[in-house]
Amino acid sequence: MTDPGTVLITGPTRNLGRHTVLAMADRPRDRRPDLLLVGRAGSDLTAVAAEARDRGATVHEIPCDLANLADVRAAAATARDLLGTGAVRPLHALIANAGIISTDTRRATPDGYETTFAVNYLAHAQLIADLLGEFTAPARIVLLGSNTYHANVWRKLLHVPPAAWADPVDLARPATTAPSATASGTAYSNAKLAVLYYAHELQRHAPDGVNVTVFEPGWMPGTALSRGTPKPAQMIGRALARVPGVSTPQRSGPLLAALALDDRWAHLRDGAFVVKSVVAEPHPIATDRERERRLWEATAELLRHRSHSPSSP
């Protein structure tokens, strides 16, 4: 990209998001974007913003709890104001990085939705719906996927359940009975399969020159994604993070920054699935025109129902 403009990123406060922010801020001045950091208010957000400013970047913090759609809409409005007043350069990229695995699928957001589905998927669908008209082409939307959406031998060994797709309105509904041991993993895989379907459909609705891709950072054990799991499992995760060759936020963050900014990836669109720095062929279940259409329609219902927003995904 000649002028990198502005990049908005969610979940900048730790691990993959934080290292992506720092990688962008570390770029030479003419390739360094302005940064809009959308994250939960607090010292972590202030700290990463300060680190990026120290490296020379123009940075705005936008406090937002993505579990609350009213907050998401307010964050989008703040971003629009900053862009509209020229406080930052034109919007050239949005990185929908924030993610969570809620350990109890009965837990509901203030809007009444299952938390994993709401934060990983719905919040980003709302944010993007509210900002889709704000991009200046050429622009990129990078969503965060995860290979957990389908089963393979490694994930079976690690007891990571694949997606079990259902109508999106049902996926958004919190469980009402005590969930099984695999329910939170299944909810996470469903949310990440939703991201893939959404990416394909989003490209059909995006303005010309706004390209949609999905990034898979590789398995990064020991990040806060597993913060709700029992302490021994978290300790094993932190130990595995030191195994040579295992992905880490330090290594994958710059790759995510590159996908959002580098000329090398300018041709990618249609929800191209990039695993670290390789374009991968997704499993056949990740492409389904009817599910993609239904997800788009159901998302509009879910966002309208709770947010009374005029925007639709």
Binding site for ligand NAP (CB under 6 A): 11, 13-17, 39-40, 44, 65-67, 97-100, 119, 144, 146, 216-217, 219-220, 223-225, 249
Please report how close the Cβ of residue 154 comes to ligand NAP at its closest, in angstroms.
Answer: 12
Please report how close the Cβ of residue 209 comes to ligand NAP at its closest, in angstroms.
Answer: 25
Backbone angles phi and psi of 30, in degrees to 5: -75, -10
Please report how close the Cβ of residue 307 comes to ligand NAP at its closest, in angstroms.
Answer: 16
Residue that the structure tokens 């059909």 belong to = 204
Backbone angles phi and psi of 124, in degrees to 5: -70, -35
Judged by beta carbon, residue 40 or residue 150, the one nearer ligand NAP is 40
Q: Per-residue DSSP letters for 129-164?
A: HHHGGGEEEEEEEEEE--GGGS--HHHHHTT-----
In the bound complex, which residue of the shown chain has the CB atom lying closest to ligand NAP?
99
C-alpha separations of 6 from 11, 41, 53, 139, 165 in Å: 16, 21, 14, 10, 35
Judged by beta carbon, residue 136 or residue 250, the one nearer ligand NAP is 250
Judged by beta carbon, residue 16 or residue 260, the one nearer ligand NAP is 16
Judged by beta carbon, residue 136 or residue 234, the one nearer ligand NAP is 234
Please report how close the Cβ of residue 270 comes to ligand NAP at its closest, in angstroms.
Answer: 20
Please report how close the Cβ of residue 93 comes to ligand NAP at its closest, in angstroms.
Answer: 16
Please report how close the Cβ of residue 144 comes to ligand NAP at its closest, in angstroms.
Answer: 4
How far apart (Å, rounded) are the C-alpha atoms in residues 45 and 63?
Answer: 8
Please report how close the Cβ of residue 111 comes to ligand NAP at its closest, in angstroms.
Answer: 12
Contact between 119 and 39 under an 8 Å Cβ cutoff? The reply is: no
> Of 145, 150, 229, which Cα lies nearest the Cα of 184?
229
Judged by beta carbon, residue 1 or residue 275, the one nearer ligand NAP is 275
Judged by beta carbon, residue 14 or residue 269, the one nearer ligand NAP is 14
Judged by beta carbon, residue 88 or residue 274, the one nearer ligand NAP is 274
* HEC sequence for 85-108: CCCCCCEEEEEECCCCCCCCCCCE
Please report how close the Cβ of residue 25 comes to ligand NAP at its closest, in angstroms.
Answer: 16
Q: At what angle do helices 69-84 and 289-307 cross, to 10 degrees?
A: 90
- Distant-in-sequence, close-in-space partners of 105: CB < 8 Å, separation ≥ 6: 114, 116, 174, 175, 179, 183, 184, 187
- Give the number of residues written for the chain: 313
Residue type, 267: H
How far apart (Å, rounded) are the C-alpha atoms in residues 185 and 179?
Answer: 11
Q: Where are the beta strands (DSSP E) in the chain?
A: 6-10, 34-39, 59-63, 91-96, 135-144, 210-216, 272-275, 278-280
Judged by beta carbon, residue 114 or residue 216, the one nearer ligand NAP is 216
